[in-house]
């Protein structure tokens, strides 16, 4: 029995013990990550020049795609309006338009402008109406891209020298500047059909009644 136990201990001690494998987290591949390290470890007949050429090919294949995607995202972020839409209340809009000097401008009262804004857009600065010819009416006064601002329609006059998206800004600065230019035309506020049908020749005192200036 003793001799058998000794023989068993000898076999156990003489057997090779395999060390536990250590799992390593996979490395994240960068843009066009090279496989040269894996190829160099595998031996074989692959030359260093061949490995470098393959690495450069991978970079040329993947890097431009990533760069183009980032460029597209940046372009879209520039084209989109930088500010969120705002729907003014009646008196809030009246105060803003008064601060911009529209009360009495070209003989039109503040109530004329507030009435126009309501029937044109419902006081919504982000309102955009698309016409069948591809033009748009933009912002709180629904200013047309046919003549006054620039959108995707080529060869438009762009009298106000601004993009139509500028007319969607809640601070109304560009909108008021452009509206003043329109009002300098012989038609005045009559340029807007909404004003002619709903505001012209009517008692408009209710549009500013109760507003604290």
Task: Flag whether 122 is in a domain.
Answer: yes
pTM above 0.85, yes or no: no
Give the domain range for residue 106. Answer: 90-207
DSSP secondary structure of 131-152: -TTS-EEETTTTEETTTTSBSS
| Number of structural domains in the chain | 1
Residue 201 lies in a domain: yes
How do the pLDDT tens digits run along the chain, 213 residues long? 444 444 444 444 444 444 444 444 444 444 444 444 443 444 444 455 655 655 555 445 545 555 555 555 444 444 444 457 899 999 999 999 999 999 999 999 999 999 999 999 999 999 999 999 989 999 999 999 999 999 987 788 999 999 999 999 999 999 999 999 999 999 999 999 999 999 999 999 999 999 988
Asked whether residue 74 is domain-assigned, the answer is no
Q: Is residue 183 part of a domain?
A: yes
CATH code for the domain in which residue 129 is found:
1.10.530.10
Contact 120, 192 (CB under 8 A): yes
User: Does 197 reside within a domain?
Assistant: yes
Residue at 154 is within a domain: yes
Helix axis angle for 110-121 and 90-99, nearest 10°, is 130
């Amino acid at each position: 029995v003793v001799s058998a136990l000794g023989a068993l201990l000898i076999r156990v001690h003489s057997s090779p013990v395999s060390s536990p494998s250590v799992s390593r987290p996979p490395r994240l591949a960068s843009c066009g990550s090279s496989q040269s390290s894996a190829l160099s470890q595998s031996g074989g007949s692959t030359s260093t020049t061949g490995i470098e050429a393959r690495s450069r090919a991978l970079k040329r294949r993947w890097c431009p795609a990533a760069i183009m995607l980032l460029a597209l995202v940046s372009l879209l972020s520039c084209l989109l309006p930088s500010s969120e839409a705002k729907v003014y209340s009646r008196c809030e809009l009246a105060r803003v338009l008064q601060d911009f000097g529209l009360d009495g401008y070209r003989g039109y009262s503040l109530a004329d402008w507030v009435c126009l804004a309501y029937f044109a857009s419902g006081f919504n600065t982000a309102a955009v109406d698309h016409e069948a010819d591809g033009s748009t009416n933009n912002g709180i006064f629904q200013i047309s891209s046919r003549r006054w601002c620039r959108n995707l329609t080529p060869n438009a006059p762009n009298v106000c020298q601004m993009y139509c998206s500028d007319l969607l800004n809640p601070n109304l600065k560009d909108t008021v500047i452009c509206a003043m230019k329109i009002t300098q035309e012989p038609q005045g506020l009559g340029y807007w059909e909404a004003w002619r049908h709903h505001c012209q020749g009517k008692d408009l005192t209710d549009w500013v009644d109760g507003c604290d200036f």
